[in-house]
Amino acid sequence: MNGLRPTPRPTRTRTRVRGAAIAAFVALAPLLPASAVAAGTLKADAALPYVCALPSGQRAATVRITAAFPERVAVGEEILPTDVTTTVEFPEPAVAELTALKAATVRAETRLTVGVAQGEQRTEATWSGTGQPAAVPAEGPLALTTTGDVPSLTPGTAGGLSLTAGAFGVDLALSTAEGTATAPASLSVTCAPADPDGRTLLAEVPVGTGTPTAEPGTTPPSPGTPSPSRPAPGVPERDAGKDAGRPAAKVPRAGQGPAAADDDTPGTPGPRPAAPPCLTKEPTPMSLSAYITGYSNVRKLAGASLIPLTCVLMEQAEPEIITGGTEDEPETHLINKAVGHFSTQGRKQTPPFKATFLTFGFAPTTATLVLEQTGPLTLYSDTLLALPYNISKTYVRAPLVLRVLDVRVNGTRLKVGSSCRTEKPLSSPEPDPATYPGDHMVLVGKGQYVWGEPATGYLLTGGGPLVGEVTIPAFKGCGTGGENLDRLLTASISGSGNYVRQIQGQTCNILNPFPPIDPECTDDGQPYQVPKPAR
């Protein structure tokens, strides 16, 4: 399976190191369910038993999931779940743990892994949700309901497409009666299905052979794996026969790093999930490519939004070895730098994505957004080579503006025009402003590799989580026909303290492969590993 390659030993006279970069984005807020379900829908309502790991131990909990799906679709037609809500009910003993922390209110953010299957094809999607603050009851159970962003599905073949519930997680933000944070301020709870099979059917949507309803300028995908969030056409399928007999990765990937597809059979790479094209046109031995995806919070809107899978193309500089420290405790550092950009249909931007939010807490608003790169994306990685430990810290910097393409309030289009965007790039606290001036986002990845043991955190070639905090600037150029909407968008979105967490997949260097990582690239030179978003 895919893994992390070890950092080169400092005793080599010439170190060849390959780095990868990732950028992260900020969106408006989580998706919310539609206000009504059209005729011809299939409604799902399942109350599922789970076992959750709380500080005091394992507790039973019930997770109820409701959603609506099309009653039937054609091959290549989008399936977008609507009216999606997730309610987790904790029993009274679990509520007592919150009371012991002096928690008076709690706000939940949930994430549900949903398995998608059609015939022999398998993939997974993440349903995320954010809830409103709820009072902690003096006695009895606590029910927390969330609504959130749900990726669409596009089946490529005929036959029943089933959705099943898998792993569930909930982050609880706790506040006292005075409105201050408790200690600790939050709890992160992981839950597993109590069902012995580990999954429970939510719905099965029949997929026929009729003609799909395609949007203008789009082409229905060719037959293949059903995939979340509209995969771009043209992604080749990997020939599994070509990989027969290849060794498994000998260096495990970081604990938070993304999985390629199938971890059940050691040494056997699973089918590659569908992904947008990510190909370096004129690669050099220093060229790298990787996929990224993840979540971003918008503090003003008290929610999180899924950022779509995006391709990043990089060119590395020659690595440097720097020695320092003292005579008694010498240090050797490996410095790696790279410059790159997003690549979406030839443009330096993310794919357009939709987010639905409540403006000022009451007006349901849907926006189509894109993040555009205004300058080079740069990567700086410092790895302390202290055998058997290699400790790495990586900074990724990217100047990005948030552009608003379309806005609809209660279904009515708000004419924002073609120039609506933040007046300057998103910004983060910069630890080295003299070297890196100007407004840009900063993400940090920390990782460690111990020879012979699994790697943890983020490492350049293996990927993993990158986190940071950004400020969303004021908006400009919004509105048409003399109507200025700058202040409306600025008041509802702009501000500081927006947490970002992105997951980078393993890198691909088609001209300079590094065994025993397997597989690193597809047969036509695209990254094989497609990461999954995680909070």
Is pLDDT at 68 greater than 50 in this prediction? yes
The predicted pLDDT at position 74 comes to 84
Based on the domain organization, do 414 and 380 belong to the same domain? yes
Point out the least confidently predicted range of 25-34, 307-316, 416-425: 25-34
Mean pLDDT computed over 176-196: 84
Same domain, 196 and 277: no
Residue 428 has pLDDT above 90, yes or no: yes
Q: How far is CA 85 from the centre of its chain?
A: 20
pLDDT band for position 39 (cuts 50, 70, 90): very low
If one compares 76 and 171, the residue with the highest pLDDT of the two is 171
pLDDT at 217: 34
Token code pair at residue 497: 């303290």
Q: Is residue 172 part of a domain?
A: yes
- Residue 301: what pLDDT? 64
Same domain, 325 and 432: yes
- Alpha-carbon distance values, 476 to 26, 117, 193, 223 (Å): 17, 44, 47, 43
Percent with pLDDT over 90 in the chain: 25
Shared domain check, 106 and 243: no
Stretch among 101-105, 286-290, 325-329, 416-420 having the lowest mean pLDDT: 325-329
Classified as helix, coil or strand, 320 is strand
Task: Tell whether omega for the bond before 533 is within 30 degrees of 0, i.e. cis.
Answer: no
Identify the residue whose tokens are 């940071």: 468
Residues 444 and 317 in one domain: yes
SS3 call for 157: coil
- Give yes or no for residue 33 having a pLDDT over 60: no
d(CA 90, CA 144): 8
Q: How confident is the model at residue 310 (pLDDT cuts 50, 70, 90)?
A: very high
Cα separation, 82 vs 359, in Å, equals: 20
Is residue 5 situated within a structural domain? Answer: no
Q: Report how far residue 146's alpha carbon sits from residue 169's, in angstroms, rounded to the nearest whole number.
A: 12
Average pLDDT, stretch 483-489?
A: 87
Residue 249: strand, helix, or coil: coil
More confident residue, 335 or 11: 335
- Residue 142, pLDDT score: 92
For the cut 80, the answer to whether the pLDDT of residue 53 exceeds it is yes
| CATH number of the structural domain spanning residue 123 | 2.60.40
Which one has a higher pLDDT value, 434 or 450? 434
Phi, psi of 519 (to 5 degrees): -85, 150
Whether the bond into 519 is cis, omega within 30 of 0: yes
Flag whether 515 is in a domain.
Answer: no
Would 394 be classed as within a structural domain? yes
Q: How far apart are CA 374 and CA 167, in angstroms?
A: 38
pLDDT value of position 349: 93
Domain, as residue range, for 111: 41-208
- 528 domain-assigned: no
pLDDT digits 0-9 by tens, 216-275? 333 333 334 444 433 322 222 333 333 322 222 223 333 333 333 333 333 345 678 889
Contacts of 239 (CB under 8 A, 6+ apart): 523
Q: Distance between CA atoms of 338 and 344, rounded to whole angstroms?
A: 20
Same domain, 198 and 244: no
Query: Identity (one letter) of the amino acid at 212?
Result: P
Tokens of 41: 């829908």
* Residues in Cβ contact with 114 at an 8 Å cutoff, skipping those fewer than 6 apart: 124, 125, 126, 127, 163, 164, 165, 166, 202
CA 393 to chain centre: 21
Rg of the chain, C-alpha, whole Å: 23
Query: What value does the mean pLDDT take over residues 338-350?
Result: 92
Tell whether 36 is covered by a domain: no
The neighbouring-strand residues paired with 133 are none
What is the pLDDT, as a whole number, of residue 365?
A: 66
Q: Which spans in 322-453 are helix H? A: none
E strands, 299-329, are 303-316, 320-325
Query: Could you tell me if 345 and 400 lie in one domain?
Result: yes
- pLDDT band (50, 70, 90) for residue 438: very high
Number of domains in the chain: 2
- Length of the chain (residues): 535
Phi then psi dihedrals of residue 38, to 5 deg: -70, 165
Element of type H or E holding 368: strand 363-373
Distance (Å, rounded) from C-alpha 458 to C-alpha 255?
Answer: 9
* Helical H segments across 9-109, by residue range: 92-100
196 sits in the region (left: phi over 0; alpha: psi -120 to 50; else beta) called alpha
Residues 311 and 402 in one domain: yes
Task: Note whether 415 and 490 are same-domain residues.
Answer: yes
| Range of 28-42, 60-74, 150-164 with top mean pLDDT | 60-74
Choose the weakest-confidence range: 148-157, 377-386, 466-475, 494-503: 148-157
Domain match, 147 and 293 both: no
Same domain, 332 and 399: yes
* Residue 215 domain flag: no
Q: Exposed e or buried b for every residue in 177-188, given b needs 16+ CB within 10 A?
A: eeeeebeeeebe
Looking at the structure, do residues 144 and 243 belong to the same domain, yes or no? no
In a domain, 523, yes or no: no
Per-residue pLDDT reduced to its tens digit, 111-152 = 898 888 888 788 888 888 888 889 999 888 999 999 876 777
